[in-house]
């Protein structure tokens, strides 16, 4: 029996004697075929297929898969032939072994091409029988476990392939135990130092927390048995090392923050019990709002089912709890491989199987659509990482971005200067909005301009931290300069009220006021005025205190003239959308500068008596920029009326920002438009043109 004994120990737990005998025959065949061969570890070669078969026996894979795993290297490394295998062990086993065997007789130009061609062959075999990939994963897992005897360069190559292809495939197939171990071993082989440091830190943390973990575990167990659920299992969950590493690295979360969560899994008999457990833990510890997820009612794409909730544990420590049935747990851990365990029964397992088959069929389709096997393996890789998109620069370089990334993220990924000066983008040569989420394979060409600056609205759609931090930083600097400039103008106006100017302020008065108010220098004070934290007229009075001051006749501060280029510290209210030419009034908002309303806006009237908040403003003669205006147009329900409206607006050099059509009754439509104009006169001209249209009944500009 020899090496077979340990494997048999697993098989007897779920196979009948006849199946075990067939497995034994496969073992004997493989042992004889590999006779004389040794692994790099110095052991007999047969130990490898036996160990791989044992990995699958532990998750109760069927007899064909176990036999195929025992035989998986005989076609590649010995003289045995496929027809020999078929006659001894049947077509299924022979096909499985053939599916995982590499192409032998072809000479490849490069290692990458060879890898790609072999991968393509495996995918084609998977389409016929998905077990091919399960056998392959067991083979790979055992090779990864014994990787350290290989040459360092080979170790790195195999580890990379594992992390790029096999670990994500295991993940896709829901085989999470495999996935986690493959990833951890891959990380260990590629970055041994990082692995060691992280693994030591994790051990230390777990040592420190043992007592608390046990306390929580006991509390949950007791609560379950008080409620008659004593068969339920409560298990402390550990994050795998690689997932901790990835969180720290890609989400920029510190080790302590990643580790600062305690995870538990509660496994019970049936679905009903799952929801009861949920109620029990929620009454034991307070749940964190909006962290509850019901993947039992709504399973994930890979058929994963579970209830997830997060609780405020003792000392405020967050506890993540997964609650599921035994079946769900097996599928959660073994995914598609659980199918063979529950051949007759479980619908969930069947579902996982169907989804896996669908995915493989998708791969087949991809295979047909790609010109070469290299291209194919690249598309499989990007398909396996749905969280990443690969796009091209105009020069053909590939850039990897997180899912949902936009052209602005792309621009910042190229260079922060490109990001700061981007104005438009061509995606596959077509001009597109900067907020368009990018898709795999697109060519992205950013258009930049020297005058361009980052737009605060970008913060609403960028996803990379690089873009976000660059935009924030720029805006912060920009806002400083703009608010200092505005503060200086406001203070100048306030001083004018007393017929004074900056030069009249006594040095000591400035110094002592800065000290009293806690500002380092004059710029800080001006910035505070610009941002609305300080009121210009009060500051002026305090600065001039003790001087001979005269009041001007009307006793009000002269108006501030604005020209539309003040930037972020002067903004225009959305409620009334004032236009150049309208009479306007400013509202000072601490921290945000001035918000400009129309003088008759209903939101302003309540403020009019709060002198500190009101700033009198006027338009300069020449105002720059585009302003938004809202129109409501009542039109007869005729064809082409919208096209006529759009035509007029375009002819007048205006843009439609938003359009909403509300059918009032059968005869009339109410069209609400937001358009851009540069002046009240501009809008008036457009309204006149619209009124002339025959189907138009009424046009009004709405103001809040």
Interacting residues toward Mn ion by CB under 5 A: 73, 139
Q: Is 673 left (phi over 0), alpha (psi -120 to 50) or beta?
A: beta
Euclidean distance between CA atoms 100 and 121, whole angstroms: 8
What is the nearest approach in angstroms of Mn ion to the Cβ of residue 119? 16
Euclidean distance between CA atoms 40 and 285, whole angstroms: 53
The phi, psi pair for 625, rounded to 5°, reads: 105, 170
Euclidean distance between CA atoms 207 and 689, whole angstroms: 78
Nearer to Mn ion, 73 or 98 (CB): 73
> Residue 133: is it exposed, middle or buried by C-beta count within 10 angstroms (0-12/13-18/19+)?
buried
Query: Which token pair is 318?
Result: 């967050």
Euclidean distance between CA atoms 34 and 78, whole angstroms: 7
Residue with tokens 């060691």: 196
Q: CA angle, corner 327, sides to 325 and 329, nearest 5?
A: 70
Residue 284: strand, helix, or coil: helix
Please spell the DSSP secondary structure of 38-95, one letter per residue.
B-TTSSBTTHHHHHHHHHHHHTT--HHHHHHHHTTTHHHHSS--HHHHHHHH-HHHHH
> Residue 385: is it exposed, middle or buried by C-beta count within 10 angstroms (0-12/13-18/19+)?
middle
Nearer to Mn ion, 146 or 442 (CB): 146
Contact 391, 438 (CB under 8 A): yes
CA 367 to chain centre: 28
The phi, psi pair for 267, rounded to 5°, reads: -115, 125
Euclidean distance between CA atoms 51 and 417, whole angstroms: 54
The phi, psi pair for 312, rounded to 5°, reads: -85, 105
Residue 77 designated active-site: yes
Query: Which token pair is 29?
Result: 């065949």
Handedness of CA 184, 189, 190, 196 (dihedral sign): positive
Nearer to Mn ion, 47 or 346 (CB): 47
Pick from 71, 62, 133, 139: nearest CA to 99: 133
Nearer to Mn ion, 45 or 245 (CB): 45
What Å distances lie between residue 471 and 452, 453, 466, 593, 594, CA to CA? 13, 9, 9, 19, 22
Query: Which token pair is 400?
Result: 């990897």
How many C-beta atoms surround the C-beta of residue 647 within 10 A? 13
| Nearest residue relative to Mn ion (C-beta) | 139
Q: Is 80 left (phi over 0), alpha (psi -120 to 50) or beta?
A: beta
Euclidean distance between CA atoms 295 and 404, whole angstroms: 23
How many C-beta atoms surround the C-beta of residue 661 within 10 A? 13
Residue 7: strand, helix, or coil: helix
What is the nearest approach in angstroms of Mn ion to the Cβ of residue 262? 39
The phi, psi pair for 446, rounded to 5°, reads: -85, 130
What is the nearest approach in angstroms of Mn ion to the Cβ of residue 49? 7
What is the nearest approach in angstroms of Mn ion to the Cβ of residue 13? 24
Residue with tokens 């710029």: 523
Nearer to Mn ion, 75 or 686 (CB): 75
- Active-site option among 62, 76, 113, 139: 76
Nearer to Mn ion, 100 or 173 (CB): 100
Euclidean distance between CA atoms 381 and 392, whole angstroms: 16
Residue with tokens 């930083």: 473
Residue 532: strand, helix, or coil: coil
Query: Which token pair is 468?
Result: 């976000």
- Active-site option among 10, 43, 58, 77: 77
Q: Known catalytic residues?
A: 76-77
């Amino acid at each position: 029996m020899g090496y077979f004994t340990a494997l048999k120990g697993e098989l007897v737990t779920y196979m009948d004697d006849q199946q075990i005998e067939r497995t034994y025959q496969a073992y004997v065949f493989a042992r004889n075929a590999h006779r004389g061969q040794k692994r790099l570890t110095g052991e007999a070669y047969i130990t490898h297929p036996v160990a791989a078969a044992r990995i699958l026996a532990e998750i109760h894979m069927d007899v064909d898969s176990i036999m195929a795993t025992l035989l998986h290297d005989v076609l590649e490394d010995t003289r045995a032939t496929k027809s020999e295998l078929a006659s001894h062990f049947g077509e299924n086993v022979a096909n499985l072994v053939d599916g995982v065997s590499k192409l032998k007789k072809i000479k490849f130009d490069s290692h990458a091409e060879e890898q790609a061609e072999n991968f393509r062959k495996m995918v084609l075999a998977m389409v016929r029988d998905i077990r091919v990939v399960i056998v392959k994963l067991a083979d790979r897992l055992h090779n990864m476990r014994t990787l350290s005897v290989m040459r360092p360069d080979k170790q790195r190559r195999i580890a990379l392939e594992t992390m790029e292809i096999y670990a994500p495939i295991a993940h896709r197939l829901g085989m999470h135990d495999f996935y986690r171990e493959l990833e951890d071993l891959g990380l260990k082989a590629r970055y041994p130092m990082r692995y060691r440091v992280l693994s030591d830190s994790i051990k230390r943390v777990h040592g420190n927390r043992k007592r608390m973990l046990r306390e929580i575990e006991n509390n949950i167990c007791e609560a379950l048995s008080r409620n008659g659920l004593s068969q339920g299992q409560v298990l402390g969950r550990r994050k795998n090392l690689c997932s901790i590493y990835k969180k720290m690295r890609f989400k920029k979360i510190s080790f302590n923050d990643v580790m600062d969560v305690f995870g538990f899994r509660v496994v019970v008999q049936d679905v009903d019990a799952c929801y009861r457990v949920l109620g029990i833990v929620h009454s034991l510890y307070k749940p964190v709002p909006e962290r509850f997820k019901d993947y039992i009612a709504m399973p994930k794409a890979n058929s994963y089912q579970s209830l997830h909730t997060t609780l405020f544990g003792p000392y405020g420590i967050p506890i993540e709890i997964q609650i599921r049935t035994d079946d769900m747990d097996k599928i959660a851990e073994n995914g598609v491989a659980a199918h063979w365990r529950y051949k007759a029964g479980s619908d969930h397992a069947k579902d996982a199987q169907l989804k896996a088959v669908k995915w493989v069929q998708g791969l087949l389709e991809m295979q047909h659509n790609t010109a070469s096997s290299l291209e194919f393996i690249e598309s499989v890789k990007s398909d396996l990482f749905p969280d990443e998109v690969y796009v091209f620069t105009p020069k053909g370089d590939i850039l990897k971005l997180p899912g949902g990334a936009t052209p602005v993220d792309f621009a910042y990924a190229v260079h922060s200067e490109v990001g700061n000066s981007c104005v438009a983008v061509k995606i596959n040569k077509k001009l597109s909005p900067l907020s368009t989420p990018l898709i795999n394979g697109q060519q992205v060409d950013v258009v930049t301009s020297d005058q361009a600056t980052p737009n605060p609205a970008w913060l609403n759609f960028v996803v990379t931290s690089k873009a976000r931090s660059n935009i924030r930083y720029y805006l912060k600097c920009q806002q400083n300069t703009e608010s200092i400039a505005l503060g200086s103008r406001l203070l100048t106006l306030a001083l004018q009220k007393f017929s004074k100017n900056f030069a009249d302020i006594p040095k000591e008065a400035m110094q002592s006021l800065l000290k009293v108010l806690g500002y380092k220098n004059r710029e800080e004070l001006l910035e505070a005025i610009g941002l609305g934290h300080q009121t210009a007229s009060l500051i002026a009075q305090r600065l001039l205190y003790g001087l001979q001051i005269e009041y001007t006749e009307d006793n009000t501060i002269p108006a501030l003239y604005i020209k539309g280029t003040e930037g972020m510290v002067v903004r225009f209210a959305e409620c009334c959308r004032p236009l150049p030419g309208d009479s306007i009034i400013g509202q000072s908002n601490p921290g945000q500068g001035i918000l400009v309303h129309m003088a008759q806006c209903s939101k302003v009237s309540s403020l009019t008596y709060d002198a500190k908040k009101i700033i009198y403003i006027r338009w300069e003669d020449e105002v720059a920029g585009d302003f938004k205006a809202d129109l409501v147009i009542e039109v007869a329900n005729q064809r082409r009326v919208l096209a006529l409206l759009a035509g007029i607006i375009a002819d007048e050099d205006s843009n439609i920002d938003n359009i909403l059509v509300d059918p009032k009754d059968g005869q009339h439509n109410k069209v609400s438009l937001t358009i851009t104009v540069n002046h009240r006169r501009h809008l008036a001209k457009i309204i006149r043109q619209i009124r002339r249209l025959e189907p138009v009944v009424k046009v009004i500009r709405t103001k809040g």
